[in-house]
């Protein structure tokens, strides 16, 4: 059950695009086109650390993280998947999932603060979310309409 007083931290709200909700977590796309970067935010009020979740929510968070991890591996075929729950800048519990490539702008350093973010256009952001959707083993409840991919016109 979603916590009645859950509110997404303003910084996450400003820096991310909402992809949808799972039973526990809100799935966000970080608005930085340099990296395939998704964030899970458990929809529970006043939670800063994983151990503060009850046992059922800890299990569900781990399940959602593994589903997201597998989907990212399939969709992007990166060299490494970084998963982190730091919370130094945003204390609300959130779990970063960042696909890394040896050719990416920050490799092998952490992505935080390495380079200014390069925002997606709306179409690019939707395309990233659509790329992930068919690979998710758990249906995602969209919070906004995600337009269908546009197929290239066929030659006539």
Q: Position of tokens 């920050």?
A: 106
Distance from the first to the final alpha carbon of the chain:
52
Question: Are 50 and 85 in contact, with CB atoms under 8 Å apart?
Answer: yes
- Joined together, the tokens standing for residue 81 give 């998947």
Give the phi and the psi of residue 48 in degrees, each rounded to 5. Answer: -110, -25
Phi, psi of 43, deg, nearest 5 = -85, 70
pTM of the model: 0.89
The pLDDT value recorded for residue 5 is 87
* Bridge partners (DSSP) listed for residue 17: 29
Q: What confidence score (pLDDT) does residue 148 get?
A: 39
**Which pLDDT belongs to residue 113?**
87
Q: What's residue 144's pLDDT?
A: 57
Tokens of 94: 């959130």
- The pLDDT of residue 4: 61
**Separation CA 45–CA 6 (nearest Å):** 5
The rounded average pLDDT for each run of 10 residues, N- to C-terminus, in the chain (156 residues) is 78 96 97 98 97 98 98 98 95 98 96 94 95 93 54 36
Predicted confidence at residue 142, as pLDDT, reads 77
């Amino acid at each position: 059950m979603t916590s009645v007083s859950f509110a997404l931290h303003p910084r996450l709200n400003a820096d991310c695009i909402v992809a949808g909700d799972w039973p526990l977590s809100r799935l966000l796309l970080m608005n930085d086109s340099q990296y395939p970067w998704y964030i899970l935010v458990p929809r529970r009020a006043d939670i800063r650390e994983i151990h503060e979740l009850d046992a059922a929510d800890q299990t569900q968070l781990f399940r959602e993280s593994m589903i997201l991890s597998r989907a990212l591996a399939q969709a992007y075929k990166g060299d490494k998947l970084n998963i982190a729950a730091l919370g130094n800048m945003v204390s609300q519990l959130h779990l970063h999932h960042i696909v890394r490539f040896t050719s990416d702008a920050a490799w092998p350093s952490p992505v935080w603060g390495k380079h200014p973010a390069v925002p997606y256009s709306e179409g690019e952001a939707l395309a990233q979310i659509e790329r992930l959707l068919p690979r998710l083993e758990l249906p995602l409840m969209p919070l906004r309409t995600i337009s269908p991919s546009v197929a290239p016109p066929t030659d006539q």
